[in-house]
Amino acid sequence: MYTPVTPHPVVPEAQQERSGLARLWYQLGPGSRRRQRLARAEAQRLVALQYRWQEACLHVGLALMIYTPSGVVASVPRIVRADFGDPVTFTVQLRPGQSAADLLTAEKRLSRALGVGGLRFVERGDAWVIVEVTGPQGGAGQGFWDGGPGEGPRLRVA
């Protein structure tokens, strides 16, 4: 497997700053275990989506192979945010020199590699594209949009 050039950070949503006591209550108070369980499930779905997106981009030729003395590295368009609602959408930051048209030309192959019915791309600025999953999403075992904790296979995170 290739190592991505850039890490895939999760961009946090803008939240109102809480006081120290409110943060403690949020972390340890009633419902905190459920919130932590849901946050962990969301993070696992995001990691699985990023992994599958990287593999799909390598498969369809959207990755730039960089050869270094320590090995081969692949640079792919980076997922910076995901919403696993209905429909599943995620925001992708394109590599320098790429355009939304590059994703559009590879749409059929990308959707097959991801195991979904189709993809719709909405260009947002120079280097940003919102990808929306359209059509039926692959059956059981597709993984990154499964309902909640314990449903379907999960990507093992070390």
pLDDT digit string, tens, across residues 70-119:
999 889 999 999 998 888 999 999 998 899 999 999 999 999 999 898 99
More confident residue, 103 or 5: 103
Q: Which residue has the tokens 């270094």?
A: 68
Q: Which residue has the tokens 């905190």?
A: 32
Residues 6+ apart with CB under 8 A from 119: 107, 110, 111, 131, 132, 133, 134
Distance CA 56, CA 129 (A): 16
The C-alpha torsion from 149 through 150 and 151 to 152, rounded to 10°, is 120
What structural domains does the chain harbor? Answer: 3-10+20-137 (3.30.980.40)
| Residue range 55-66, pLDDT digits in tens | 999 999 999 999
| Residue range 42-59, pLDDT digits in tens | 899 999 999 999 999 999
DSSP code of residue 53: H
Q: Which residue has the tokens 């959207």?
A: 62
58 touches 1 (CB < 8 A): no
